[in-house]
Chains A and B, each alone.
Chain A
């Protein structure tokens, strides 16, 4: 099992009057090679779930095994390595570093991995070609459209060849045509064997996934095929 989560809680202001349970006892298993869409209304806790699954945030309680490793016991440094090697993130707001060119943004995780320059260049070119952005390598984020920025962000996510891609509303800021293009790339990656976890509130996007997990008030209310989800 690639991702194995049991009784996951993320509670803010625990024990106080304004206690919020963003995750309220989530148990979830995702196998290698799956394409899972996690859906829910805004504030349902789906982004929090992704942040915890992606080691961007720590759960208040619960067990989390990633590829057999109990990640709740990892040090900060080990978590950094885990994020670097295992997971590629795609954010709604792209989160590119504005002062670096497209290629430099894509190169960054490879530098953190400690790769040599020729290897890095090879990987950057490969990733940029995959998202059809190679000819824009030297552009700064501000010089690109939203769709182009998101494609660069995808290139950055896949440059390290991570087994898992986590995408949080990757099409949320894009028009439907560029959104479809981004989705196509995610499906291509899935076909090549990457596990894709897609967070969205858009049911038409979720409908392209083979497995749907619906979240409401921090709980999983449905977990099944898209037919079972009625999409």
Chain B
């Protein structure tokens, strides 16, 4: 008796017992497909929520780090945040200038004292990630570059409302404006982000390299930073890391804290956590149900199979031969069922995601592999069970099984 013959007997047995083979496969197929589709769909839903939150311009982390001895910690903070690239997209100083501001281009001028509140300029000092972190987009020109920050270039980016008020329909990029008497070259214009002008004057922003801070003296609050997390789930993680790091950075002569400005962002994270739990629960439950299904189908046939084993032993099959046959049988049935189950699961995922989410999240390899291995192991254990049990009996005992 060699392996090839065992394989032939097993294949013959599967083909002969079509009903049972199909039922077993069906158990595995449905179980696997359900696990894969449910897990992927829930993951897709998660991603959809995350994208939705990200699109809403958030995942912002406010970082307040003040030093009382005048040390500039922004480079260190920036470097640290870059190292957290698993959670963080970027960080920028977000220093606002207080007090009187006079912005001039040619004959036009805007003042923080004499202009209507809705057109008052607001000067912020930031780095090359300011645009990213505060969810601006460029309409024209270029973004602030590292070199501008490093060389303390007198350059600025204008919010859409400021640009419109100063330049009307002229081309602002490349022109020079003056702020409190100092000249700056306009290198870029932001897209309008608050058309109704109901927000906090986001379109009235003038961004300057934060290294020009000294020009504004003590009218700049130097302790404010804004970070941007990768997604909603990363927000609490990044905050945790930052709050661990900040006290060491500011030392005894300073104070540091990171937090998210939005309570709904926090609740979104809670929701994410809940969903992950829910997901795990669904996966575990589906696997359990499919496992029980497989077990049932296998155990229902134990008596029948025990008799069969008795017959096979009576006509001269060795124990090893019988176990090999049953092992091959179980592996074949479960393997084929498993592969079909994965295919059905992927198909169901695609259809479900397409219909509901309008994008497809493919099942992760670990979920697929885990579910496959679980189903096949269940199938093989319970498929092998009658063989191991009955092949050790005297043939007459196995034949007596009723």
Contacts and interface: CB of A to CB of B under 8 A. Distances in A.
B316 A97 contact: no
B47 interface: no
B312 A108 contact: yes
A80 B392 CA distance: 12
B391 to A, nearest CB: 9
B399 A56 contact: yes
B83 interface: no
Contacts of A81: 316, 318
Nearest to B310: A95
A111 B16 contact: no
B148 interface: no
Contact of B5 (A58, A76, A111): A111
Interface stretch (A83-91, A143-151, A204-212, A219-227): A83-91
Contacts of B8: 111
B316 A80 contact: yes
Contact of A51 (B313, B320, B396): B396
Contact of B17 (A96, A99, A160): A99
Chain B interface helix/strand/loop/mixed: helix
A45 interface: no
Interface residues of B, number: 28
Contacts of A95: 307, 310-311, 314, 399
Contacts of A89: 314-315
A112 interface: yes
B191 interface: no
Contact of A114 (B1, B17, B319): B1
Interface string A61-97: 0000000000000001100110111000101000111
Contact of B316 (A58, A83, A100, A104): A83
Interface in B135-174: none
A interface residue count range (under 10 / 10 to 19 / 20 to 34 / 35 or more): 20 to 34
A57 B397 CA distance: 8
A113 B321 CA distance: 11
A76 B319 contact: yes
Contacts of B9: 108, 111
Q: Which of A89, A91, A114 has the most CB of B within 10 A?
A: A89
Given A111-B5, A112-B321, A57 B396 contact: yes
Contact of B395 (A56, A111, A112): A56
A156 interface: yes
Contacts of B394: 56-58
A109 interface: yes
Contacts of A113: 316
A24 B331 CA distance: 46
B319 A77 contact: yes
A99 B316 contact: no
B285 interface: no
Contacts of A57: 394-397
Interface in B58-77: none
Interface in B280-313: 307-308, 310-313
B253 interface: no
Interface string A95-125: 1110110001000110111100000000000
Nearest to A115: B5
Contacts of B312: 97, 108, 112
Nearest to A107: B12
A83 B314 contact: yes
B136 to A, nearest CB: 72
Contacts of B396: 51, 56-57
A83 B17 contact: no
A51 B315 CA distance: 13
Nearest to A156: B315
A112 B314 contact: no
B315 A109 contact: yes
B349 to A, nearest CB: 36
10 contacts: A55-B395, A56-B396, A83-B313, A83-B395, A89-B314, A89-B315, A99-B13, A111-B1, A112-B316, A114-B1
Interface of B: 1-2, 5, 8-9, 12-13, 16-17, 307-308, 310-321, 394-397, 399
Given A81-B316, A111-B5, 13 more contacts: A51-B396, A55-B395, A56-B314, A57-B397, A77-B318, A83-B315, A84-B315, A85-B316, A89-B314, A95-B314, A97-B16, A99-B16, A160-B316
In the A-B complex, the 6 residue pairs with the smallest Cβ-Cβ separation, listed nearest first, are A84-B316, A99-B16, A109-B315, A56-B396, A56-B395, A57-B396
